[in-house]
Amino acid sequence: MGRIFITGSTTGLGLIAGTQLLERGHQVIFHARNATRADELRDELPGNPQIVIGDLSSIDETLQVAAQVNDLGPMDAVIHNAGAGYGGLTRRTVEDLPDTFAVNVLAPYILTAKINRPARLVYLSSSMHRVRPNWDDILWQKRAWNGSQAYSESKFFVTALAFAIARLNPQVFSNAVDPGWVPTRMGGQGAPDDLKAGAATQVGLVGGDAGPLSELSGQYLHHMTVTKPSEGTMNQQAQDQLLVLCAELTGITLSF
C-alpha cells in the first residue's frame, strides 16, 4: 500500500479521493488551507487523519507544506488537486499574483520541486484548458481581468507542467486528469457530472490499480480514458517557457 499526499483535500474531489484511498488501505496525507478547515476534517473523518496545513496561494506557505510532507517521510504519489476558481473580481496574492495562477500552477510547481520524489504525480486539469494563453501577460498585469480566461489559462499551464515533468523525468509517472464538471464548491451544485466518477481516474492512477493506465505517463485522461489535450500543452518550447517563469517567480529550479 502507498503513502499518498492530496492537496486541497478537505472537501470535494480531494476529500472523495482521500477517503476512497483510505478505504483501499493506503496511507493518505490530507491538506487543509488553514487550521479551521483541518479541525473540521478531523471531525468528519474517523481515526486521526494526517493533515498538513498551508495556504497554497502563498509561496512561503507552500514551501512550509512541502516541508511538512517531507517530515512525514517519502511519498509514493501526490495528487495536485487544490484549485482556485474564477468567480468574481481578480484576487491577487501576497506576492501580487493572480490566485488562479498561484494556486493552480505555481503551487504544484513548488511542491513538485520540493517534495522528495514520489513515483506518481497527478495534476488536476479541466476541459476548460483548451485555450490559447497570452504568453505576454501570463500574470494579468496589463489585461482587463477575465476570470474564466484566467482559470482556463491556469489549467493549460498545469497540464503543460504535467507533461514537462513526464518528459524531463522518465522515472516518474506524471499525468494530467480532467475530472469533468462536477458539483463541488467550485463547480457549483448544477454541474452535470458525477463526483465519484470525477475522482476515479486519479485514485486509480496513484493507487496503481488502474490497469494499463497505471503504466502511462505524459497523458491527459478523462474518466479512465486517454484523451487528446490541447496541442499547445505538448509543445516543448511552451513547457520550457513556463518552467523558466515559475523558476523566476519562486527562485526554485526543478532538478531531476
Q: Are 205 and 20 in contact (CB under 8 A)?
A: no
* pLDDT score of 3 more than 90: yes
Residue of 151, 196, 220, 228 marked catalytic: 151
* pLDDT score of 205 more than 50: yes
Give me the chain's average pLDDT, please.
Answer: 92
Give the strand order in the sheet containing 50-53.
50-53, 27-32, 3-6, 77-80, 120-124, 173-178, 220-222, 225-227
Residue of 109, 123, 155, 220 marked catalytic: 155
Q: What is the mean pLDDT of residues 125-140?
A: 97
Between CA 173 and CA 121 the distance in angstroms is: 6
Between CA 202 and CA 204 the distance in angstroms is: 5
- Number of neighbouring beta carbons within 10 Å of residue 111: 23
pLDDT in tens, 206-255: 998 878 999 999 999 999 999 999 999 999 999 999 999 999 999 999 98
Q: How confident is the model at residue 188 (pLDDT cuts 50, 70, 90)?
A: very low
pLDDT in tens, 9-56: 999 999 999 999 999 999 999 999 999 999 999 999 988 899 999 999
**Interstrand relation of 220-222 and 225-227 (parallel, antiparallel or unpaired):** antiparallel
* pLDDT score of 184 more than 70: no
Active site (annotated) includes residue 228: no
* pLDDT score of 196 more than 90: no
Active site (annotated) includes residue 114: no
Q: Are 69 and 46 in contact (CB under 8 A)?
A: no
The helix (run of H) or strand (run of E) holding residue 165 is helix 147-168
Q: Which grid coordinates are listed for 82? A: 487544490
pTM of the predicted protein model: 0.94
Domains and CATH numbers, the chain: 3-250 (3.40.50.720)
Q: What is the mean pLDDT of residues 116-124?
A: 96
* pLDDT score of 133 more than 80: yes
